[in-house]
A and B are shown apart, each in its own frame.
Chain A
Amino acid sequence: MIDNISYDRSLQGHRRVEHRLAARVRVVAEAYALLAPSLVGFLLFLVAPIFGVAALSLFDWNLMGAPSFVGLDNYRELAADPEVWRAVLNTIYYVVLNIPAQTVLALLLAVALNRRMRGGKVLRVVFVLPWMAMPVALGIIWSWVFDPRYGVVNQLLGTVGIDGPNWLTDPAWAMPVIASVNVWQYTGYTMLILLAGLQAIPHTLYEAAAIDGTTPVQRFFMITLPLLRPSLFFVLVTNMIGSFQIFDTVFVMTQGGPGGATDVLNFHIYQQGFQLFRSGYASALAMVLFALILLVTAVQFLYFRKRTVYDFS
């Protein structure tokens, strides 16, 4: 009798555990069912290609016939290729022209907009208008704007008596012109992110600093800049990752010219991989660009982590 009862109890307990286990299994199954489509896309079209490109960089393959294993030959070849070094330097030059100009302009505009004013909301929308533009269309428009004879820039310069250069066919000017497209396109976007960061800084800090007799410039450097660091960090990291991948405007405006002056890494990889069909070599070049981006991002992480983080949340 007693044995029976205890047996019954343990059976019930067993059932309860079984029940809970079944519910748990169901939740996990449901979670993976919801995740399934994105997981297929993630594994097949993102993870597999990343491993694929690393493997492919060790082969010589023109997309026909069988690929032949060449070890690190592609990397040896690219390290000895002056065109690759030029593409790396061109890419860095583009980023250097781009990021500081865009960030400083965006910061100025954000500080100017960070107050109650008439039309502030409208201005925000206007400043974000360039962000959505199609880079290919911008490439067409900028080619016209900087046309030596028919472009608005040289027309404007002409009104003050300056004879403007042949922008896009001048090796010294082609890259700055291409960088100006990106500065135009992303300054407003960057400004909005910085503005959101500015608005999170407590007013009381400025009031206290003003009572202590500081000048606006001092307040900017001692309060605004340090407290804006998280937003600045975000903006710098993401914009830089994007800038290293410049392609569309180069493709439309210069095709890497004149004389290789705008041949950036992404464009060089495209040419090697999809015009000359050297898929192994292009894969090795892609790995170089990847490494470059990782390196720059890591440096930014280290630099920003060293500094103090303030938290008002």
Chain B
Amino acid sequence: MKRIALYLVLFAGAVVSVAPYLMTLNSAFKEPAQVLTTPAWEPALPVTFDNLAQVWSDYDMAGFLMHSLVYAGAVTAGQVVFSTMAAYAFGRMSFPGRDALFWGYLATMMVPQIVTLVPLFLIMREFGLIDTYLGLILPTAFGTPYGIFLVRQYFRTIPVDLESAARIDGAGTLTVLVRVLLPLSRPILATLATITFITTWNTLLWPLIVTNGDAIRVVTLGISALKGQHSSQYHLILAAAALALLPLVVIFLLFQRHIVRSIALTGLK
């Protein structure tokens, strides 16, 4: 009896977790009139691709997705490379100012993002980077304190002996990092890349401030503008939302093992 109640609670939670995704996908394939006249849980019959085709052709969905891909891809690449470099310095080398600097990095994790936005906008304007990929990418491309912390903690679990052996064989710092540590750190790097990509893909506020035209409009801006114009045309905006979520679902399903483990780890430090 108790077991049944337990499973019921968990099952209800699971249904609530996936229902919004499924209902959105379902409605994206319904005919426009049916989106309004049939309940959300009624399956799309007949299936139509018209809504997806319409947002794809009437709006620059391909462009939105492309711009977001460049933005999130570049930030992810920068984050992985530069966070790894910094993590090695913080985790494995001793140099004056290390601990103070590391605590400085950590302390900024408490600073709300909006605090930095007005000055960041001014910096980008000064450099003439408004409405450019560089302006979009630069603030987060050099590695974030979160990323550095995550990789540093992982590096510290790798035995130092492995490194010393390579050093005795005459390997320099860069060789040790690339040949010894990185192959052992694949899980954490995959995790960091996944989380960074998802977070950047989902970002609204910074693109909203630093871009203003169609040239590099990212998908968050694209679909929120669509919602502003056609707030009651659910067949369109739900199809657009489904397209914006699709890459996330794919990435999540590919890397879910890493994500689940890394979230579990964050609380334990």
Query: A residues bordering B, Cβ < 8 Å?
Result: 27-28, 30-32, 34-35, 37-42, 44-50, 52-53, 56, 63, 108-109, 112-113, 123-145, 147, 150-152, 155, 184, 187-189, 192-197, 200, 230-231, 234-235, 241, 244-245, 247-248, 251-252, 266, 269-270, 273-274, 279, 282-283, 286-287, 289-290, 293-294, 297
Report the bound CA distance from A269 to B117 in whole Å: 10
CB B109 to nearest CB in A, in angstroms, measures 8
Query: Nearest chain-A residue to B253 (Cβ)?
Result: A125
CB B95 to nearest CB in A, in angstroms, measures 4
Report the bound CA distance from A193 to B266 in whole Å: 7
Q: Is the CB of A50 within 8 A of B10?
A: no
Chain B interface, number of residues (Cβ within 8 angstroms): 92
Instruction: Provide the residues of chain A in CB contact with B263, threshold 8 Å.
Output: 128, 131, 189, 192-193
Q: Is the CB of B202 within 8 A of A135?
A: yes
CB A279 to nearest CB in B, in angstroms, measures 5
Interface with A: B156-164, B182-190, B231-239, which one? B231-239
Q: Which of B26-66 contact A (CB under 8 A)?
A: 27, 35-36, 39-41
Residue B14 lies at the interface, judged by CB distance under 8 Å to chain A: yes
Residue B268 lies at the interface, judged by CB distance under 8 Å to chain A: yes
Report the bound CA distance from A282 to B209 in whole Å: 14
**Could you say which of B227, B234, B248 contacts A134, with CB atoms under 8 Å apart?**
B248
Q: Is the CB of B93 within 8 A of A30?
A: yes
**Could you say which of A127, A248, A294 contacts B204, with CB atoms under 8 Å apart?**
A248
**Could you say which of B13, B119, B143 contacts A56, with CB atoms under 8 Å apart?**
B119
Residue B141 lies at the interface, judged by CB distance under 8 Å to chain A: yes
A27-B93, A188-B17 as given contacts; A49 in contact with B204, CB under 8 Å: no
Instruction: Provide the residues of chain A in CB contact with B10, threshold 8 Å.
Output: 109, 112-113, 123
Report the bound CA distance from A247 to B85 in whole Å: 33
Report the bound CA distance from A126 to B111 in whole Å: 31
Pairs across A and B, CB under 8 Å, 17 listed:
A27-B94, A28-B95, A31-B95, A35-B90, A37-B142, A38-B83, A38-B143, A109-B13, A112-B9, A113-B10, A131-B263, A140-B227, A188-B13, A192-B264, A200-B268, A247-B205, A273-B117
Contact with A along B92-112 (1 / 0, CB 8 A): 011110100100110010111
Query: B residues bordering A, Cβ < 8 Å?
Result: 6, 9-10, 13-14, 16-18, 20-21, 23-24, 27, 35-36, 39-41, 81-83, 85-86, 88-90, 93-96, 98, 101, 104-105, 108, 110-123, 138-143, 145, 148, 173, 177, 198, 201-202, 204-205, 208-209, 219-220, 223-224, 227, 231, 234, 237-238, 240-241, 244-245, 248-249, 251-252, 256, 259-260, 263-268
Query: Nearest chain-B residue to A272 (Cβ)?
Result: B118
